[in-house]
Amino acid sequence: MSTDVVATIDRLRATFDSGRTADLGWRKRQLQGVIDLVRENEQQLSDALAADLGKPAFDTWLTELNLVKDEAAHALKHLGGWSRKTKRSVPLVAQPAKAWTEPQPLGTVLIIAPWNYPLQLLLAPAVAALAAGNAVVLKPSELAPATSAAVAELVPKYLDTDAVAVVEGGVPETTELLAEAWDHILYTGSTRVGQVVMEAAAKHLTPVTLELGGKSPTIIAADANLAVAARRVAWAKILNAGQTCIAPDYLLVEQSVSDEFARLVVDELAGFRDQAPATSIVNEHHLERLEGLLDGHGGEELLPRKTDRDTRVMAPVVVRSPDPASPVMQEEIFGPILPFIEVASVDEAIAFIKARPRPLALYLFTSSKTTERQVLDQTHAGSVCINHLVYQAAVTDLPFGGIGPSGMGAYHGKAGFDTFSHTKSVLKRPTWTDPGFAYPPYTDQIQKVLKFLTRW
């Protein structure tokens, strides 16, 4: 690792050890700094995201800047309550005593962000880490170089440079960072790299939060409002050109309404792709990967393929009845391709989902509370959104995280504060009383009394 990076990490650890970051006033100043950073530099950050992803300015505001601001404002509002001691009960055998828990910052933590939401998925976890009182190293994605450069320029202007640092670079730099002994690592990205991160962390017994991906299903029940469902599915699929970890990856549509829903969702997608500004596929490699997923799927393409290779803008494609064994149904798509599978019933949809790895998100459109409860009870997913998509990740008070191969741990709101805190247990006993019968040898009478007091 370079001498400069080693010196930076040493400086951050020294700052943490000094106790500066534990102070609530310091934490609040950092949270306000994050808010000021995104508010005062909206144009610069929008330009950077446009350069990296061709992202429209409003999409940048909606999915990046505003979410970071909301996360920091929520933490700023609730930090006092989150940081308080919590009284715990003490059993009779341990009396007289007081017991409580108190959150304590972990130390120096590493946050590794992906390229698809390169600002939000870097700064939102940073909000949680700073609210909890940690020193933080931020590693932005090298696949979003303009955003990485903007963050590296702006963070030192708004946050404490002795406690927060940005380390730019690619795989070699990330590998070197992972070789360090951190107090926590939060990584957002692919399952494959998540395994690398977890393996590196295991060498130091470092706890990790992994926000991964997977194939997030959408169930369309026959009793759903089909027009609204089609519009919302289409919007969620074109958002960021489908390059969203909780994007609807495939549809499971009840057969009795499949023809009608196919027509509706195709119409909505066609309208969006002709009228709405489009985000680019991040690079040529990913564009070729997406085109490869369309080859050999064994289904029917309901929208014609249309790709502008100069801008890397790929129009959405609906694939009806693909082969479940084809790559488009086996790999996370992460692009504007929408497989459409007919099922005989919601029961069949649930069975289809349960036969596959647990997803990061699951979506359900239904007007039936019974169906809603059935899906919630019989499936596992990191999060569920009913009659809409993606918005669950915008609710700061809802934990965001995966389950099984889609990730471990969570953040957002109080869940993020808890992720980057250690809940320290404390028991305090007075010294004004110290009866001899509390110590050996225990007479038969004392044993009977103690057993009576703790009878079960």
Of the residues 211, 268, 332, 342, only one is catalytic, namely 211
User: Choosing from 64, 71, 180, 245, which is the catalytic residue?
Assistant: 245
Report the distance separating Cα 26 and Cα 130, nearest Å: 9
As given in the structure block, the two tokens for residue 305 are 């393929």
Own/partner contacts of 353-358, CB < 8 Å, gap of 24 or more, are 353/217, 353/219, 353/252, 353/379, 354/378, 354/379, 354/380, 356/215, 357/214, 357/215, 357/404, 357/405, 357/406, 358/214, 358/382, 358/402, 358/403, 358/404, 358/405, 358/406
With 0-12 / 13-18 / 19 or more C-beta atoms within 10 angstroms meaning exposed / middle / buried, residue 205 is: exposed
Active site (annotated) includes residue 211: yes
Catalytic annotation on 385?
A: no
Exposed, middle or buried by CB within 10 Å (0-12, 13-18, 19+), for 429?
middle
- DSSP-derived letter for residue 359 is P
List 100's β-bridge partners, or say none: 87, 426
Q: Which residues contact 145 (CB under 8 A, 6 or more apart)?
A: 52
Cis amide linkage into residue 441, ω under 30° from 0:
yes
- Active-site residues, by number, are 211, 245
